[in-house]
A and B are shown apart, each in its own frame.
Chain A
């Protein structure tokens, strides 16, 4: 009789050499041996109970490339904290869960971090729709949630709550900072944006920022995220205006840059946009098509202006070394690495100030974080910043730049106090 694949398969299981029982036995043995190996911080901290920090990151799905670099920043901060004595002598244990770039999965994983892992605090979140879906989970369980990438305006606006903090910029702050420069470039703008929560709220913020400085937004085109061929939609953009303003991130930023250039839009109009379009990981795929682009970002990988400081040079060198392990082309640190690194350090500062010992001290931690001032240091290499008490939104220096010769050229560093906008949050009781 001819042997089938299935027969071979059964041979493997029933040959007497590798039985299921033996396999389970070996598995148990390996698991037991693993449990005997001490956790990395044991040598330094002895029996001290670690602070458990839960982090939701997109490790699979469309946002995974950003998630990979985010973890580099987060892990870098945790390693540094543990190396320098932890927080109140206790180590930090990072528990990362993959949200698969989906809000429903993110919410489920947040619940898992709360109930099974019993995390003390949360530090993470990449996609805004995932952050928004998970915020109620952290709030219901009275756990401080330090956002590390999500930019949706409503997070510290209409959807704000006392447990969620954003230690980096928001679109309205960028719009306040960028508005004068945009209106200098041209009075009339057309906005093309990612048609989901972050893109829509950012569009509104820029429309207001441009209008406030005497400019006008004459049209807006929303394109769903993940649209591979934007050309049919970009082809419609025509008329009498001065500049095209893009609000996209990740691969959509690459698609916009390439296809807007191909249609001659970036030659016909001034091309500006959110810094997420021209993050370092997108530049190779954009090539010379992004030449002349004006962007704004909280962090760019340069040593110019306020970013020319020893703390940033140390942060840059360490991050670049670590990034080599996730990307063979040795990229430079971007806004995702920076904000994850600083979000964890912000949490550390708050925990130290409040004498935080665990979840039961969340209110003390919130009180310490509200109005917290962070100074340029190894913890905050991007620069000084402060967390506003009213909406838990941070304000920091914004960097306006232009891409020339494939490199970032700093045009202006707008200080934190020049980026402040009125709070839009009514904190729920």
Chain B
């Protein structure tokens, strides 16, 4: 059987682009888990809220960049409020309570969006239109823009974590919460800050991805499900692991779709998840101590 090189090239590009969007969603999720041990079931709704705020800002200003920035900032504030009101009181309780709290928040946010914005899908116009020839296909420039923007946001955050004063606080709190508190780091506020950053990353991905799908109250669900797979495969709480796993899983699905149907290709990510849980429960890039 001849190897379909043209399809392999196209699907490599697709896998990397989808992987970068997924990485942006998953990195917020893994960050929140890594530092707070909270599995945030409301992450998809923060993604959706970001997209809706993007719609409103874009409609009133016409600036995509302003929409992206405003949505990230507003959703960061919403995230901070959500953490203070619902999660901070649950610190030290059974982890199940935080799962229920974030699940409850997700239902509230979904129904709020449906009530506030109605059943009509909204549009975010892409800032860059047009296509280029990719072998047999017309490929949209905007998908490359999404990949580059996601990489830039993730890269900026990595630099902040590595060299920024508050980034060091976050890393210290991730490594040893008690010791960080003893050293004078305000751990509860670090938690709030991290939740806000995770929420902002979800919002940014919502605005970036909005032009491809339309904005509606349940748009976050499929992404957050995949992001959970990526977070587990990459290693719960491992920032770099999540990014690598996002690209790995997306590439696998894209390649699989060359030979099998889309429904079967989607199963690939679940197979990877099951194999990871069976043979390396800490994730491909997670530390064994977690």
Residues of A within 8 A of B (CB): 5-6, 60-62, 64-66, 68-69, 195, 221-224, 226-229, 231-233, 235-236, 238, 251, 254-255, 258-259, 262-264, 267-268, 281-282, 284-287, 326-329, 331
- Contact, CB under 8 Å: B10 / A64: no
**Residues of B1-48 whose CB lies within 8 A of A:** 7, 10-11, 14-15, 17-18, 21
Chain A residue, CB-CB nearest to B251? A232
Distance of A162 Cα from B88 Cα, bound (Å): 56
- Contact, CB under 8 Å: B214 / A327: no
- Per CB-CB distance, the 9 closest pairs between chain A and chain B, nearest first, are A264-B138, A327-B118, A285-B214, A65-B119, A285-B121, A254-B214, A5-B89, A262-B140, A233-B262
Give the contacting residue for A235; candidates B14, B212, B261; CB below 8 A.
B14
Within the complex, the shortest CB–CB distance from A259 to chain B, in Å, comes to: 6
Tell me which residues across on chain B come within 8 A of A268, comparing CB atoms.
138
Contacts A258-B212, A263-B140, A331-B119 aside, 6 further interface pairs with beta carbons under 8 A come to A65-B119, A222-B262, A262-B142, A285-B120, A285-B216, A328-B117
- Contact, CB under 8 Å: B263 / A224: yes
Is residue B215 contacting chain A, with contact meaning CB distance below 8 A? yes
Tell me which residues across on chain B come within 8 A of A251, comparing CB atoms.
121, 213-214, 216, 218-219
Distance of A263 Cα from B13 Cα, bound (Å): 13
The answer to whether A282 and B214 touch (CB under 8 A), given A232-B257, A328-B117, A331-B118, is: yes
- Contact, CB under 8 Å: A235 / B11: yes
- A/B interface sample: 21 pairs, CB < 8 A: A5-B88, A5-B89, A60-B111, A62-B218, A221-B261, A222-B263, A223-B262, A223-B263, A231-B143, A235-B10, A235-B11, A235-B137, A254-B213, A255-B214, A258-B212, A258-B214, A264-B138, A285-B120, A285-B216, A327-B120, A328-B118
Chain B binding site: helix, strand, loop or mixed by DSSP?
A: helix
Distance of A282 Cα from B122 Cα, bound (Å): 8
- Contact, CB under 8 Å: B216 / A228: no
- Contact, CB under 8 Å: B120 / A284: yes
Tell me which residues across on chain B come within 8 A of A282, comparing CB atoms.
121, 214
Tell me which residues across on chain A come within 8 A of B219, comparing CB atoms.
228, 251
The answer to whether A232 and B18 touch (CB under 8 A), given A64-B114, A251-B218, A285-B121, is: yes
Chain B residue, CB-CB nearest to A329? B120
Tell me which residues across on chain A come within 8 A of B120, comparing CB atoms.
65, 281, 284-285, 327, 329, 331
Tell me which residues across on chain A come within 8 A of B263, comparing CB atoms.
195, 222-224
- Contact, CB under 8 Å: A195 / B18: no
Chain B residue, CB-CB nearest to A287? B123
- Contact, CB under 8 Å: A327 / B121: no
Q: How large is the interface on B (under 10, 10 to 19, 20 to 34, 35 or more residues)?
A: 35 or more
Chain A residue, CB-CB nearest to B226? A228
B248-290 vs A: 1/0 string, CB under 8 Å? 0000011001100111011000000000000000000000000
Chain A residue, CB-CB nearest to B107? A60
The answer to whether A238 and B257 touch (CB under 8 A), given A222-B263, A282-B121, is: no
**Residues of B213-232 whose CB lies within 8 A of A:** 213-219, 221-223
- Contact, CB under 8 Å: A6 / B10: no
Is residue B185 contacting chain A, with contact meaning CB distance below 8 A? no
Within the complex, the shortest CB–CB distance from A2 to chain B, in Å, comes to: 13
- Contact, CB under 8 Å: B222 / A226: yes
- Contact, CB under 8 Å: B121 / A69: no
Within the complex, the shortest CB–CB distance from A201 to chain B, in Å, comes to: 16
- Contact, CB under 8 Å: B10 / A285: no
- Contact, CB under 8 Å: B213 / A228: yes
The answer to whether A236 and B212 touch (CB under 8 A), given A284-B123, A326-B119, A327-B120, is: no
Distance of A65 Cα from B136 Cα, bound (Å): 37
- Contact, CB under 8 Å: B218 / A64: yes
- Contact, CB under 8 Å: B253 / A68: no
Chain B residue, CB-CB nearest to A265? B138
- Contact, CB under 8 Å: A262 / B131: yes
- Contact, CB under 8 Å: B262 / A231: no
B129-160 vs A: 1/0 string, CB under 8 Å? 00100001111101100000000000000000
Within the complex, the shortest CB–CB distance from A263 to chain B, in Å, comes to: 6
- Contact, CB under 8 Å: A264 / B121: no
- Contact, CB under 8 Å: A229 / B21: yes
Chain B residue, CB-CB nearest to A238? B136
Is residue B110 contacting chain A, with contact meaning CB distance below 8 A? yes
Within the complex, the shortest CB–CB distance from A334 to chain B, in Å, comes to: 10
Distance of A331 Cα from B122 Cα, bound (Å): 12
Tell me which residues across on chain A come within 8 A of B123, comparing CB atoms.
284-287
Within the complex, the shortest CB–CB distance from B189 to chain A, in Å, comes to: 16
Is residue B99 contacting chain A, with contact meaning CB distance below 8 A? no
Within the complex, the shortest CB–CB distance from B82 to chain A, in Å, comes to: 15
Distance of A226 Cα from B263 Cα, bound (Å): 11
- Contact, CB under 8 Å: A284 / B89: no
Tell me which residues across on chain B come within 8 A of A267, comparing CB atoms.
138
Tell me which residues across on chain B come within 8 A of A66, comparing CB atoms.
119
Within the complex, the shortest CB–CB distance from B3 to chain A, in Å, comes to: 15
- Contact, CB under 8 Å: B262 / A227: yes
Within the complex, the shortest CB–CB distance from B203 to chain A, in Å, comes to: 16
- Contact, CB under 8 Å: A6 / B89: yes
The answer to whether A232 and B214 touch (CB under 8 A), given A224-B262, A254-B121, A328-B118, is: no
Distance of A64 Cα from B219 Cα, bound (Å): 12
